[in-house]
Structure 1
């Protein structure tokens, strides 16, 4: 009975190790890039809003244009493929 438990436990650990390694090698780099991109978007949006509200010479007529430019830049941005390559190494 003890041998059986030990064998099952080793098999479980091996399976967990394999899946964890696969996740770390394949999924973690992409998730890291996605998290970085989401954070960058949030910080950039906050900074644009802060700059607009703190400027004394701010003209609100340009707000829709500025928002459209920011949205277009965010939606068309593509990470350089090297970003993932650096994380996979």
Structure 2
């Protein structure tokens, strides 16, 4: 039998979710371990219907690290304030779900 070099320190659960608000769709990916939120990433897309199909227009990305650091990146023509506010709603919902 081969020598084992790795010792597992933790195991995380990855979750993929979608939230919609108005014409925006928020693709949310987050991971949890031992009842704590480790990382959350939220990709923002504007969704427009064009001839019975949906066009997704990239509108930004926001992340939260377990250290409490948040980072955001938006194209120059996108107003970030409503998305940042919605991110706080998403984070609160995820944390409430973890504690349930």
Q: What TM-score range do you get, normalising by the shorter chain?
A: 0.3 to 0.5
Higher relative contact order (CA 8 A, sep 6+): 1
Q: TM-score, normalised by structure 2?
A: 0.31
TM-score normalised by L of structure 1: 0.33
